[in-house]
Amino acid sequence: MNWKILNKFGPFLALLFVYVFFALLDAKITTFTALETMLLQTVIVGISAIGMTLVIIAGGIDLAAGSIIALGSVVVALLLESFQFSPLVAALGGIGAGALCGIFNGLLITRLRLVPFIVTLGSLLIVRGVAKGLSGSIPINVGHTPLSNLLAALPADQKWQLLPSGAWLMIILAALIAGMLRYTKLGRHIFAVGSNEQTARLCGVAVERVKLFVYTAAGAFSGISGLMLMSYQEQGDPTGAIGLELDVIAAVVIGGGSLNGGEGSILGSIIGAVIMTVIRTGCQLNGWPPWVTQIVTGLVIVLAVLVDQLRHRQTA
């Protein structure tokens, strides 16, 4: 019974532990500004982690996430700067570009039956190349646009919104997808495909369509993260988010996702992303150098997997 609790609230307890630890060292981390800053720093990884969670639950992996984020930021910046589109159209364009990358991954995986790891390893390079090609390999400066406010601290007269819109977007998307996973047929089918593809096929689940969906969704969510990166840097950055897919995967794993498929939760993944931000911010607030951050984050990942293993051994 206690393992079940650990399973459900494990990531949350870990977050609490890490947070309290840093709060005891430096009370600054408990201020509203600090919380807001940390939440904003989580959004890019967090939104992409929502899509990654779907892919990982379905038993796959998306290594192209970081590249898709960069491409998304470049496409939004290009549409704004070079084509003078409205911010909304530009934003949708960036998300659409991400979704297209996802469809590309999904089609290769389902139609040609290639291994997701290798397909997305390939598209990691392809998409990064496209982002550089589109931007001429230089950052596209956008300056201050309405999109910049997505990931900016709220000015005093807008405090009634409580959180910046980018943070709200992450929370709403997370809630929607978590609900989708729990309360819809598609959600159950995603779990079933990841848990046992053959069983899913036996039960009449359209396995290929489910897979295509999760990769497309992952692409679209990384596209949204790209929009957020653009907003954060006020720049479409073809070299941005390099290696970020590993942070995204780490967030999902810390949140209880299993790379064998069939397990994972949206809330867990978001908490996983928050944990990594808290560790980084906490270390930097205390003036600890980056190597400390890296060791601590690494330890948390290993610990998360270890707890997961112990739980499995307990129930098996």
Binding mask 156-195 for other proteins (x = CB under 8 A): --------------------------xxxx-xxx-xx--x
Distance between start and end Cα atoms, the chain:
14
Q: Locate tokens 């190597």: which residue?
A: 291
Question: Which is closer to other proteins, CB of 89 or CB of 188?
Answer: 188
Token duo for residue 30: 């408990």
Cα separation, 66 vs 61, in Å, equals 13
* Ranges within 65-84 binding other proteins (CB under 8 A): none
CB of 266 to other proteins, least distance (A): 16
CB of 174 to other proteins, least distance (A): 18
Give the rounded distance of the alpha carbon of 121 from its chain centre: 17
Question: Using the rule CB under 8 A, which residue among 84, 113, 155, 160 binds other proteins?
Answer: 155
Cα separation, 131 vs 129, in Å, equals 5
Binding mask 98-117 for other proteins (x = CB under 8 A): ----------------x---
* Ranges within 244-273 binding other proteins (CB under 8 A): 262-263
* Ranges within 283-312 binding other proteins (CB under 8 A): 284-285, 287-291
Question: Which is closer to other proteins, CB of 28 or CB of 89?
Answer: 28
Q: Please, is 232 exposed, middle or buried when counting C-beta atoms within 10 Å of its C-beta (0-12, 13-18, 19+)? A: buried
- Residue 122 within binding range of other proteins, rule CB under 8 A: yes
Token duo for residue 100: 């297209």
Sign, Cα dihedral of 104, 217, 211, 300: positive
Strand partners, 235: 141
Residue 296 Cα distances to 21, 246, 248, 251, 300, angstroms: 12, 15, 17, 14, 6
Buried b (16+ CB within 10 A) or exposed e, 17-53: ebbeebeeeeeebeeeebebebbbbbbbbbbbbbbbb
- Residue 13 within binding range of other proteins, rule CB under 8 A: no
**What single-letter amino acid sits at 222?**
S
Question: Which is closer to other proteins, CB of 3 or CB of 168?
Answer: 3
Q: Which of 7, 15, 113, 102 is nearest to 55 (CA)?
A: 102
CB of 63 to other proteins, least distance (A): 12
Question: Using the rule CB under 8 A, which residue among 206, 259, 267, 305 binds other proteins?
Answer: 206
Q: Locate tokens 């992952």: which residue?
A: 218
- Residue 240 within binding range of other proteins, rule CB under 8 A: yes
Question: Which is closer to other proteins, CB of 81 or CB of 89?
Answer: 81
Question: Which is closer to other proteins, CB of 13 or CB of 206?
Answer: 206
Where do contacts with other proteins occur on this chain (CB under 8 A)?
Answer: 26, 28, 31, 33-34, 37, 41, 44, 114, 118, 121-122, 128, 132, 137-139, 141, 143, 152-153, 155, 182-185, 187-189, 191-192, 195-196, 198-206, 229, 232-235, 237-243, 262-263, 280-281, 284-285, 287-291, 315-316
